[in-house]
Structure 1
Amino acid sequence: MNNLQVIIKNGKFLVESREVAELIEREHKHLMRDIRGYIEVLNKSHSPRLDSEKFFIESTYLNTRNQVQPCYLLTKKGCDMVANKMTGEKGIIFTAIYVAKFDEMEKSLKNEPQPKLPTTYKEALQHLIEQVEVNEKLQLEGKMKDQVIKELKPKADYTDMILKNKGLVTITQIAKDYGMSGKEMNKILHERGIQYKQSGQWLLYKQYQGKGYTHSETIDITRSDGMTDVKMTTKWTQKGRLFLYDLLKVNNILPDIEKEYSYQTSMLG
Structure 2
Amino acid sequence: MSNLTIQTINDSLVVDSRLIAAELGIEHRALKKTIQTYQVDFEEFGNIDTVSADIIGPGKPETFYFLNEAQANLSLTYSNNTPIVRQAKIKLIKAFEAAKKALLEISQPKLPSSYKEALLALVEAEEEKERLALKAAEAEAKISEMAPKVEFYQRVADDTGTFSLADAAKLIKVMGRNNLMYFLREQKILQFSNVPYQKFIDQKLFTVIEKETHVGVRLTTRVTQKGIEFIIRLLEREGYIQKAS
Is the structural similarity TM-score above 0.5?
no
* TM-score interval for Structure 1 and Structure 2 normalised by the shorter chain: 0.3 to 0.5
TM-score by length of 1: 0.36
TM-score by length of 2: 0.40
Which protein has the larger Cα radius of gyration, Structure 1 or Structure 2?
1
